Copies of this chain bind each other. A is one copy, B any other.
Amino acid sequence: MSADTTGLIDELRRALGDDAVLTGGDIGDRTRSDASQTGRHLPKAVLRPATVDAVATALRVCNAHRQSVVPQGGLTGLAGGASPQAGDFALSLERLTGIEEIDEAAQTMTVKAGTPLEVAQKAAEAAGFLLAIDLGARGSCQIGGNLSTNAGGIRVIRHGVTRDNVLGLEVALADGTVLTMLNKMVKNNTGYDLRQLFIGAEGTLGIITRAVLRLKPLPEGRATALLALASYDDVVRLLKRAQRELGGLSAFEAMWRSYFSVTAKAENIPLFAEEPDFAVIIETEGADQAAPLEAFLEGALTDGLINDALIAQSEKERRAFWIVREGLVMDRLPSIVNLDVSLAIGDLGRFAEACDAALKARFAEAYVSFYGHIGDSNMHIAVSVAGASEADLHEIDEIVYRIVAQYHGSISAEHGIGTLKRDYLGYSRKPEELDVMRRIKTALDPNGILNPGKVLPV
């Protein structure tokens, strides 16, 4: 970072145009932080390139001046990855937007990085396709950010993680070199798969400018059920059976009693006459899914694998199941901490017990609840400790991540590392891995201008 940036700003204005360089009072307050609300610094300037060439130019000029750059998309991230550090320029992708092509034969969409996810989803749908990348922030988040965080979402069990839905990528490197790899092919074994480096790198290795995304046939219908189970082992057995018998399985969400009893009550949605220890939502996609789902549930009931089953008879009932699962009421609990971890599926039950015990041993009054995309080995933990201090909140993280490490799990299933999980990264990655990550960072961004302070522990 150069202390006096006047010359640099002038050079950027000449290269990009005045409207692409915001400074001083023109910088909007929202550029201070992503949705983690942990950002503390406004960027010194906001660059708003409208073309790939302009992104490259902005980076080339910043790199020559050793000016650090934080890429910003929809600012919906939860790990601080898009929040500026002191002295950063922000590079906003909001003007690099639009769908360039839908190739119906290849079943691909070529899209600019700043396009909001929901815009891309709707364009796919209008052409008769499903863009399977999906998450709650769809209205605000942008494709470039989705890919940079490898954001997960709710269709993973059927359609894979975000990485699996990316066929081609264009990236601007720190020195302004553009790698245009807009591949539309499923199979392509021509040397190192450079796409993969940038997906999930949170803008520390390059800035994604365009992508070729896979499209799937638009499902013709779906069926949804809410089930009552007695144990986590039964949840795992049911998952395995569902994967075997339900060809269209598109969601398998488990909720521990500690979670759904609170959310269902708060939303005033009665579920079962008798509250079970586990509730599971199963959803299948495709034509005529009701009959196979009913047959599957009958079998599971007969075998004692589930104790009760509700099949959604309307979109309203289906939404009710999902409202319980989404649990927005949780955000009203005091000092709520949401953790996002993953572990081998068979371990999640014991892990939850260990977490619950450890958190309550330290914070006797803690509210601790578990839920998640079990079919993807992904668990979320909602913890609330009334009156918790900043140090208490860190201690909650620390307690959970220590247990994650014991189980060889991941401290971030979906949300990424950013700054918030950066200093815990060693719980999931070994020193040798961090060393290789640093070697790659140095190879691609020798001046360290791209999103410094993110992902890699200092």
A positions within 8 Å CB-CB of B: 103-108, 149-150, 152, 156, 160-161, 163-164, 173, 177-194, 196-197, 199-201, 205, 216-218, 220, 236, 240, 243-245, 247-248, 286-287, 342-346, 373, 375-378, 408-417, 421, 425, 428-430, 432-437, 439-440, 442-444, 455-456
Contact = CB atoms under 8 A, between A and B. Distances in A.
B443 A185 contact: no
Contact of A179 (B179, B217, B373, B432): B432
Contacts of A248: 247
A429 B373 CA distance: 38
B417 A187 contact: no
A205 B161 CA distance: 25
Given A240-B217, A444-B436, A186 B156 contact: yes
A91 to B, nearest CB: 20
Contacts of A435: 177
A101 to B, nearest CB: 11
A200 B106 CA distance: 23
Given A197-B197, A436-B444, A103 B344 contact: yes
Copies in the complex: 2
B184 A377 contact: yes
Contacts of A220: 244
B160 A409 contact: no
B344 A105 contact: yes
A287 to B, nearest CB: 8
Q: Interface residues of A: mostly helix, strand, loop or mixed?
A: loop
B187 A192 contact: no
A160 B375 CA distance: 18
Given A105-B236, A105-B344, A196-B197, A410 B440 contact: no
A26 to B, nearest CB: 34
Contacts of A179: 430, 432-433, 436
B456 A342 contact: no
A163 to B, nearest CB: 7
Contact of A414 (B177, B189, B217): B189
A376 B167 CA distance: 12
Contacts of A456: 191
B439 A444 contact: yes
The 7 closest A-B pairs by CB, nearest first: A105-B346, A196-B196, A217-B244, A187-B413, A188-B410, A185-B342, A185-B377
Contact of A164 (B106, B160, B373): B160
8 contacts: A105-B346, A107-B243, A182-B408, A186-B378, A187-B414, A188-B413, A192-B436, A439-B444
Contacts of A247: 247-248, 286
A378 B189 CA distance: 11
Nearest to A190: B428
Given A217-B240, A217-B243, A344 B106 contact: yes
Contacts of A245: 287
A256 B161 CA distance: 35
A1 to B, nearest CB: 23
B183 A410 contact: yes
Given A108-B344, A184-B408, 15 more contacts: A105-B236, A106-B344, A156-B186, A173-B436, A189-B414, A190-B412, A190-B417, A190-B421, A190-B428, A192-B201, A193-B196, A193-B199, A194-B433, A245-B287, A443-B443
